[in-house]
Amino acid sequence: MHDGHRQRLKNRFLTEGLDNFEAHAVLELVLFYALPRQDVNPLAHELINRFGKLSAVFDAPIEALMKTPGIGEHAAALIKLIPALCRRYQVSRIEGEQILNTTSRAGAYLLPRFFAHKNEVVYLVCLDSKCKVLGCTLLFEGSVNSAGVSVRKIVETALGFNATGVILAHNHISGVALPSADDEKTTAHIKTALRAVGIRLNDHLIVADGDFVSMADSGYLSDG
């Protein structure tokens, strides 16, 4: 009976996609590959009950997932793989030669990299004189204005790519993409340090909930 259910669910996905699947059925489909010899329907329901909704299951720390009876390291790792794989897929779609000479292009390039990140992260994009991407580096875990941010590392990374300009980007977990007073102060410090070695801070994007604010467009990087 379980084998027949699995095959029916797989066939339904192959025919219809996931749009009309209930949340627990999506988890069942994932768990089939981690727990091939057991009925995972009750386990899928339990995960939804514990965490409240599908996205919360995928966002849960691996330690919390493993506290659910029946979820071992193998199943928890597969669950955590899904959002990470989605992020890599989105980033891969925009890879290749990129010219980030407008705010909209910079946003389109950087937003996928923040998908499903539950911690604050900081990216640095290094550009040549024509705004072509030389490299994009995940520099820090934590807020851009936290003590963990090293301006020296930002400068060293930019020099390592022989960059003419850079774009900094970080996310606000609060869901509000507005620069804070600390963001303004730290951005000014970074801009000064980069200018001392002949590198321009083209922009600093604040990302939240799939949207962003450009500090350059908002006037924070003007020399006036």
Tell me the domains of the chain and their CATH numbers: 2-91 (1.10.150.20), 97-214 (3.40.140.10)
**CA–CA separation, 34 and 76 (whole Å):** 9
DSSP one-letter string for 126-144:
EE-TT-BEEEEEEEEES-T
**CA–CA separation, 162 and 221 (whole Å):** 22
pLDDT given at position 91: 81
According to DSSP, the β-strands at 121-127 and 165-171 are antiparallel
pLDDT given at position 145: 47
Q: Taking the model in full, what pTM does it have?
A: 0.73
Buried b / exposed e across 85-100, counting CB within 10 Å, b at 16+?
eebeeebeeeeeebeb
pLDDT given at position 147: 34
- The partner residues of 127 in beta bridges, in order of sequence, read 133, 165
Ranges in the chain, pLDDT < 50: 1, 144-147
